[in-house]
Amino acid sequence: MSLFRKKKKKHISKKVNNVLVFLLVFIIFLLVFGGICLWAVVKINEERRAAQSPESISDTESVRFDESDVRNLLIITVDDGQAQGFVLVHANPAKTLVRTLAIPRDTVVDYKTSEVRLYELVDQQGIAVARDALAKLFDIKFDNYIEISYDNIEKLVDYFESGITMKLDEDLEYHSNQLSVSISGGLRTLSPSQAVKVLRYPAWHGGRKQRADIQAEMTAALVNQYMHSSRKESSDADFSFLVNLASKTDILVSHYTSAKAGLSHLAEHNDQDLCKAISLPGEYQGSSEAIRYYAADDIHQLLKTALG
């Protein structure tokens, strides 16, 4: 009887030991497997937070820009077959700024051994020659040029569908057989036809200088209003539409592709005040049909400062 009890106790003790070993192994398994799972969950959550974080790096922010990414575009606006406005668009993604410079059509440039007005040089020798003369005067390299008529500017504004919101410094009132304009001053949203009437308006209080400046102001308004990351998906279509409106241009798809990262960066940082219009320092001399505009003597340094 006593022997039986001893054997029974040994059997129970052995079963208890086996259970303890099993529990110990199971606990170790849970700790190891659970630790791996926990590590995986933590890593997944970290990656998810990094992807969703506002501090995560965007496509353009991962690109470093420098002076080689600066682009200078010369816009020539044409009406009735003659150049009316000249605007330099300076885009600098390295400094996150865009400037539009109004260049009076009567600006004097050198051509061979003569002085000639800018619009006359375009008419006589073509845009490329006028661009090179202007580049020499400013000591600026123009990457591309585009010529667009007032009629096609109206189509461009219509394409964007929301008009142009810009400030007019005075009331516009003028009526003739060729043009009728009646637009109140102040902050206005111009329809496509009104935008062209503003460009054609001949009675600015600032005279010829204001007629030149309004070209750059309207270009800046277009940039501020429509060059946004919200149009990222339509940027290629916007580019194609604009180039197809040009009567003359040297812009190629390769030019657009090389500038696209910088333009996207600028669009992402556009707070509707990214682009500012500036006026070319200088003075008019002469009168009537003989009038000419001479850039300031230190124009190189002035533009370097004005363009940032």
Q: What are the residue boundaries of the structural domains of the chain, listed by start?
A: 1-56, 68-306
User: What are the structure tokens assigned to 179, written together?
Assistant: 């043009």
Residue that has been written with the tokens 């142009």 in this structure: 164
Start-end of H helices in 161-206 = 192-200
What is the spatial distance between Cα 89 and Cα 307, in angstroms, rounded to a whole number?
10
Nearest residue to 117 (alpha-carbon basis) of 155, 146, 153, 84 = 84
- Amino acid identity, position 43: K
3-state secondary structure of 263: helix
* Tens of pLDDT, residue by residue, the chain (308 residues): 544 454 445 455 554 455 444 444 444 444 444 444 444 444 445 555 444 444 444 454 567 899 999 999 999 999 999 999 999 999 999 999 999 999 999 999 999 999 999 999 999 999 999 999 999 999 999 999 999 999 999 999 999 999 999 999 999 999 999 999 999 999 999 999 999 999 999 999 999 999 999 999 999 999 999 999 999 899 999 999 999 999 999 999 999 999 999 999 999 999 999 999 999 999 999 999 999 999 999 999 999 999 98
The whole-number pLDDT of residue 156 equals 97
Residue-by-residue DSSP string for 42-92: HHHHHHHHHHH-TTSPPTTTTS---GGG-EEEEEEEEETTEEEEEEEEEEE
- Amino acid identity, position 67: E
User: What are the structure tokens assigned to 288, written together?
Assistant: 């009537």
The whole-number pLDDT of residue 308 equals 80
The whole-number pLDDT of residue 55 equals 41
The whole-number pLDDT of residue 38 equals 46
What is the spatial distance between Cα 248 and Cα 95, in angstroms, rounded to a whole number?
30
Angle, in degrees to the nearest 10, between helices 127-138 and 299-306 = 90
The CATH number of 68-306 is 3.40.630.190
What is the spatial distance between Cα 275 and Cα 73, in angstroms, rounded to a whole number?
14
User: What are the structure tokens assigned to 275, written together?
Assistant: 């682009």
The whole-number pLDDT of residue 113 equals 94
Nearest residue to 181 (alpha-carbon basis) of 163, 169, 194 = 194
Those residues whose C-beta lies under 8 Å from the C-beta of residue 275, and which sit 6 or more positions away, are 98, 99, 100, 219, 220, 223, 224, 227
Contact 118, 86 (CB under 8 A): yes
The whole-number pLDDT of residue 63 equals 77
What is the spatial distance between Cα 203 and Cα 208, in angstroms, rounded to a whole number?
9
The whole-number pLDDT of residue 26 equals 47
What is the spatial distance between Cα 99 and Cα 173, in angstroms, rounded to a whole number?
29
